[in-house]
Amino acid sequence: MSHTHPARVRVRTPATSANLGPGFDSLGLALALHDEVDVEVDPGGGLGVEVEGEGAGEVPLDGTHLVVRAMRAAFEAAGRPLPGLRLRCRNAIPHGRGLGSSASAIVAGVGAAAALLGWTDAAGGLDRDRVFELAADLEGHPDNVAPCVYGGCTVAWRGEDRWRAVGVPVSPRVAPVACVPAERLSTERARGLLPAAVPHADAAFSAGRAALLVAAVSGHPELLLEATEDRLHERYREPAMPESLRIARELRKVHGLAAVVSGAGPTVLVLADTGAAAPAPAGAPETGAALQIHEDLVDSIRERTGKHWHIRPLAIDPSGARIET
């Protein structure tokens, strides 16, 4: 390996929530809950994988680990063999809950490989676009991968010959709260419940709401409740997560909260409007009315969900994957 390329890299990737209601397979939001992976090249050619936190004792510790598979795909794309590696993964993103754990692992692997291979953009920084495109290829859809790579809120789609994504500004009044149940649900099972076709009226309804959602997130959070109405996927998935849909509907009807199924579920994501007039300084805690609204909101949600749900207010991660060498 060239001496100009690092032999060690650390990647920090955020959790993500995809769809956000009507934005099926296109809209996504990065959340301030992170997995971290330390990768070191092993000159001896071996492979070692350690996992702490979420997935410890469950995920494979060999070449089939998702981070390793993603790294191998990146090296193959560059026409290079995968070197020996030592990986240490510290996971905070719950697995099988609709918070983008697989996208996080894939982006971590591709991002680490990109740093080791020296993939840079025109400005000399990491080529995030290349990381995004390969990660989306591996994931099969871009809605989680885009916010994981770029941060914030994103709209992602498949162009004529490649994946593409664009960022959406997020109003400082938007406050995400993740309602995470104890049980898991595989993306494959959730997708398997979707019909091959939907009524034209439902498709038109959801298209309109997805367009409205972009406006609501970026500058009109008072419209979030209407903007997050969905007719494309949530109700079809109800047999796999009836409790999630029950809670989301109650939060919407009783409390007027924009509650949606996060990704393929079963986590429920609330996009609350704190009504705050101005953003707090970067890194500063919420104060005054915004903080009180947030605390009252969490208490109200906790009453609806019960003890088997973990109610977790989360900030929006504005920067996406962070890679240090």
Residue ranges for the known binding site for ATP are 94-104
- Give the closest residue to 168 by CA, choosing from 318, 52, 63: 318
> The tokens of 288 are what?
């005054």
Query: For strand 322-324 and strand 23-42, is the pairing parallel, antiparallel, or unpaired?
Result: unpaired
Phi, then psi, of 314 in degrees rounded to 5: -135, 140
Helices 66-77 and 101-117 cross at an angle (nearest 10°) of 40
266 upstream amide cis, omega within 30 of 0: yes
Q: What stretch of H or E contains 34? A: strand 23-42
Longest Cα–Cα distance in the chain: 61
> The tokens of 173 are what?
């009044």
- Give the closest residue to 221 by CA, choosing from 265, 261, 275: 275
First to last CA, the chain: 15
- Give the closest residue to 152 by CA, choosing from 260, 58, 71, 31: 31
Angle at CA of residue 168, ends 164 and 173, nearest 5°: 155
